[in-house]
Structure 1
């Protein structure tokens, strides 16, 4: 296990000391209130929204902001989901309004007023309560006196956050709990689940009724991410001849290429030229501006054999109205409106300009892969749902299928279509370790943004322990 495991056990000891500190504290450091109305939404909210902060760290120098939405069905019995948006550095608001929450933005030209919010009919809060937390610190509305963030700190903070939140919300202590997330969350999230499990076994209070986890389009083993090229070939983006030449000259290794292998490098350069006009987050969608400055090169992205122009835009620009990313632009105006901040309870002076994703944050990528944690969680018997939008070239479904196969668990429900409204919505397979894999037909990175109805059906069946 080597250096990673030594670091892991050291961090476990540090976690134990930190959790004990807040376990014996008589005053849980939480601050939340109910939001009844939001600028941009007509009338009172038709669901329960609570926002607030939870202090984490030994001196609570980190304040994590959250949005909590009660289940619109039966909040006392329905599961509780802690949702970790990827990035790292993407705000929880992004997951709420673009993926699985009950609100979204009306796509209309910005005129200087507060952008309009509309209800999203396929919100996962129809069947579960969800906590969307801005993590790591420095993301969204969370803030900290410590600038340096990283995988391990985010993991410990997520664990502390949830236990403290439950102390302040004792009515949810008995609810079944799942940890969910997508994209880069595929690295820290399985570790968060394991730490919560270990904390339960160590007697930490309150005990979390942990049942499992779910991940969409998850980054898992970046150094082995050699599936962008086979995916592109299967989708008809490169020719048979180029693919055969890549296989012959690169031997299946498209990431850590020997610089002396000039034939492989030549083929990869041609591959990049062929796919440079493709939107990697969804290959059928147009390449649009992201309304973001070009982020620093992110270490886990270095492992891929291509870069995605839709993510790595070179300058700040306003997307056109027909682009999906135009609503990202509206979201920035909404979240930076003073009346919105007041309605959400944002502490004055705590942060400057809100960003949907801060790719330039000071972040340490400390965990090279999460496969061993999936293995540990499988041995402990936790349920899991792993799903992939099948038009995502950032984290292709081929990569996800490969690491799931590498776990070597037997198949209990073989590959078959799953349906919504009588139509095929994707394909699924289940394993003896209680893991379910599903593709979402027509989904991108990440799937619920592109196929909300299908993803809601998938989630609602799985969370109620029904077959897809």
Structure 2
């Protein structure tokens, strides 16, 4: 059963008893023990032995999943205090109310995860999926009592790539184990009881994601009808990866870019609370996919315009070495993102000790978005992954905060529709706490698209109650 050495007994900033058991530590994913992935595991506050186990992944590439733990749906709300240690309060909308949840720092080199061999910090989509699969196999050996629980994977942003690619690895791995079990009595690897997955405002396919930006800006009344029509006409309705785009098309796209450049890209309704005094227009909060729409041969006008938790789509989907966005931002933090609480708390030596993380002298400071990985987006579109998984009986929830301009809901709505599945639940409002929480459309083959009204890129951060509602209904297999 669960390793007692991984049990967390107390956390700086929180003086009460935990509502459920918490564990944290490292899992070595290679024979030499040099590649180590760090996790934080929260048992369900309801019925740990029967509730689903969910793996949570933040995006980046390079963003720690403690982002989700601290700012989105973890067991605590964090309050900034005058001392260095934030005060922790129980979060009534924690996803641990209805599930066991593993927050994983992945790939190696992110958050507290590390390798003794620095060449491991050069990685890609396939390696990341394979490493995360190995992590799960080893983790279930350490926590065998959870092996038969329903298992789901969830994540947001660049985890739109991580989640389906890992799910596919698991399906493949389970098939191999079944094959081996028929021929051998020596069962070494546990089967992972995968039931489905959730993706929030997830990068999926460059054509859909990048084409979505201008219709989104128009639909949200950010650009005039005239500018939208002129841009559509000049670009013939294609805003991304157009080999022979005219200068007029590029100029119109640049005009759209200028118009929306002062907005908070994660939530167009929110102000930008940047902790430095850099005014918004110096960095620009615009998705770089806007900056290079229309022509692939033009370089990004301002490389430093990279932004926080989401990967700039048009760069990510080219088959090249992707510098993590934080390398491009030099030492600046993500635009419109204030991660002081996380940085302060997770670098406190007492916290590192409590969560069984290596000391700073061994693996360096904890940062929300690491500069040390070199990441190659080598898989491309995820649509076929989604098709294979849903046709194999795995349930998928594709959810979108409808005020995110980073990975707009218009793209996710379009690609889910493009799968060509029959509509089995026509577009309708879904209800949370007696109010409209957003809108949903259900398709055959267990595919559901869902919007969250008024939420930005990180849905549970903006709408925690609604997020817990759709999450718990989806896990239970209920109609949302």
CA shift, 1:117, in A, is 1.8
Q: Does structure 1 residue 114 correspond to structure 2 residue 85?
A: yes
Equivalent of residue 58 in structure 2, options 85, 88, 91: 85
Q: What is the match of residue 138 of structure 1?
A: 109
Which 10-residue stretch deviates more, 33-42 or 241-250?
33-42
Q: Does structure 1 residue 277 correspond to structure 2 residue 262?
A: yes
CA shift, 1:168, in A, is 1.1
Q: What is the match of residue 213 of structure 2?
A: 228
Structure 2: which 5+ residue stretches go unaligned?
179-188, 293-301, 309-324
Distance 2:276 2:18 in 1: 29
Matched ranges for 1:38-437 at <5 A: 38-108=11-81, 111-144=82-115, 145=117, 146-203=120-177, 205-224=189-208, 225-258=210-243, 261-289=246-274, 303-305=289-291, 311=308, 325-326=337-338, 328-348=339-359, 349-358=361-370, 361-437=373-449
CA shift, 1:432, in A, is 0.8
Alpha-carbon distance change, 390 to 426 in structure 1, aligned in 2, over 3 angstroms: same
Alpha-carbon distance change, 451 to 373 in structure 1, aligned in 2, over 3 angstroms: same
* Matched residues, number: 429
CA shift, 1:339, in A, is 1.1
Distance 1:291 1:222 in 2: 32
CA shift, 1:239, in A, is 0.5
Q: What is the match of residue 13 of structure 1?
A: none
Post-superposition Cα deviations, 1:380-403, rounded to whole Å, max 9, x if no partner, equal: 111111100000011111100111
CA shift, 1:113, in A, is 2.1
Q: Is the 8 A contact 2:257 2:290 kept in 1?
A: no
Distance 2:288 2:33 in 1: 34
Alpha-carbon distance change, 409 to 374 in structure 1, aligned in 2, over 3 angstroms: same
- After TM superposition, the score normalised by the length of structure 2 is 0.84
Q: Is the 8 A contact 2:422 2:444 kept in 1?
A: yes
Post-superposition Cα deviations, 1:394-426, rounded to whole Å, max 9, x if no partner, equal: 111110011111111101111110111211000
Q: Is the 8 A contact 1:226 1:304 kept in 2?
A: no
Distance 1:219 1:199 in 2: 25
CA shift, 1:260, in A, is 5.9
Q: What is the match of residue 16 of structure 1?
A: none
Distance 1:31 1:52 in 2: 11
Structure 1: which 5+ residue stretches go unaligned?
1-27
CA shift, 1:276, in A, is 0.6
Q: Is the 8 A contact 1:429 1:438 kept in 2?
A: yes
Distance 2:409 2:333 in 1: 31
CA shift, 1:365, in A, is 1.4
Post-superposition Cα deviations, 1:256-284, rounded to whole Å, max 9, x if no partner, equal: 24476111111011111100111110000
Which 10-residue stretch deviates more, 202-211 or 172-181?
202-211
Distance 1:260 1:384 in 2: 36
Distance 1:351 1:223 in 2: 39
Distance 1:71 1:376 in 2: 30
Alpha-carbon distance change, 288 to 257 in structure 1, aligned in 2, over 3 angstroms: farther
Q: Is the 8 A contact 1:159 1:195 kept in 2?
A: yes
CA shift, 1:80, in A, is 0.5
Alpha-carbon distance change, 192 to 368 in structure 1, aligned in 2, over 3 angstroms: same
Distance 1:290 1:375 in 2: 42
Q: Is the 8 A contact 2:253 2:290 kept in 1?
A: no
Instruction: Look up the SS of the partner of 1:35 in the other structure.
Output: coil
Instruction: Look up the SS of the partner of 1:174 in the other structure.
Output: coil
CA shift, 1:368, in A, is 1.5
Distance 1:191 1:213 in 2: 11
- After TM superposition, the score normalised by the length of structure 1 is 0.86
Alpha-carbon distance change, 315 to 407 in structure 1, aligned in 2, over 3 angstroms: same
